[in-house]
Amino acid sequence: MFSENPDICRIQKIELEMLRYFDEICRKHALTYYVCGGTLLGAVREGGFIPWDDDIDLMMPRKDYEWLLQHREEILNDKYFLYDYRIDEKENNPRRIPALCDKSMKVRLTKGNKEREQYILLDIFILDGMPRGKIKRNLHYLFFSVWHLALQLSWYDTTVNQYKVNRSLGGRLAIKILNNIKLRPKWDSQKLVQKEHCILKKYEWNHSDHVCSLLGPCHKKEILPKDYFKHSVKLQFEDLLVNAPSMYHEELTHYYGNYMIPPTSKEEKELHHRMEIIGEK
């Protein structure tokens, strides 16, 4: 269901074509992907976009994503660009999440304390393995979180969402303190992103009973049983059939609880990413 907001509707229609193109690329080269987050929720609850959603979220196992990244120049057409901060720091877009970019439209994103400009994006959350055993998984998560926090502090003003609703008391307190401290660490962000990926690649998918997408926004909730992804099914998303985990009900319940009840808060609907179109080719 497309948005009634004209700008968001235009963005959604471009993103739908991006998803169509990405699905074709993955089918052609036998690459695995799954819709996730608000895109999966929209497919199940709305049969397409959640009306106020302004992005597409996908998951890919690391081996599939790294193959795509390695072959991006020979596979992708001139309209699209596969962005990865590990090798594309020159793009000056501080974000740890890889993305397919459509170079035909630029938007201004008001998310942190500073605005930033970017292309329309299709987010790709990489799925990695996890160690077996709850204690080992928790230790792995904590070790990753140290580097994750260092990068968050380095990029605080442009990437930390100041408008997120339902933030914990500790999170709200941290935001208040950091907003009153003007000094920011000047760490090498590209090295920090490299370190994050190095940690995440430690455990192979095939030897894991849990997997994770720890570059995602939901912290420890990004650790999931691998059985969720044992098989895939097709779901309707607008006029497309897209890949979803066969246990999508369990995944959505894990993230959202009773996901079939839409939010009633105006903030949750209207302050998703605060995006406005600033240029179109």
pLDDT at 43 over 70: yes
Distances (CA, A) of 133 to 140, 209, 211: 11, 9, 12
pLDDT at 17 over 70: yes
* Weakest-pLDDT range from 16-25, 179-188, 228-237: 179-188
Q: Using 50, 70 and 90 to split pLDDT, how confident is the model at 3?
A: confident
What percent of the chain has pLDDT above 70? 93
Please tell me which residue, 210 or 148, carries the higher pLDDT value: 210
Please report, for the chain, the start and end positions of each structural domain, with discontinuous segments joined by +.
6-280
Please tell me which residue, 220 or 275, carries the higher pLDDT value: 220
**What's the mean pLDDT in 118-145?**
96
Q: Using 50, 70 and 90 to split pLDDT, how confident is the model at 102?
A: very high
**What's the mean pLDDT in 160-174?**
72
**pLDDT tens digits, 256-279:** 999 999 887 655 555 555 778 887
Q: Spell out the alpha helix ranges (H) of the chain.
A: 6-28, 37-45, 62-70, 72-75, 134-154, 156-159, 169-179, 189-200, 248-256, 266-270
Q: Using 50, 70 and 90 to split pLDDT, how confident is the model at 163?
A: low
Q: How far apart are CA 260 and CA 247, in angstroms?
A: 16
| DSSP class of 181 | -
**pLDDT tens digits, 18-41:** 999 999 999 999 999 999 999 999
Sign of CA dihedral 16, 18, 22, 24: positive
Question: Hey, is 244 helix, strand or coil?
Answer: strand
**pLDDT tens digits, 58-99:** 999 999 999 999 999 999 998 999 999 888 865 556 688 999
pLDDT for position 153: 84
**What's the mean pLDDT in 247-257?**
97
**What's the mean pLDDT in 166-186?**
76
pLDDT for position 126: 97
Mean pLDDT for all residues in the chain: 89
Q: How far apart are CA 187 and CA 100, in angstroms?
A: 26
pLDDT at 243 over 60: yes
pLDDT for position 236: 98
pLDDT at 135 over 90: yes
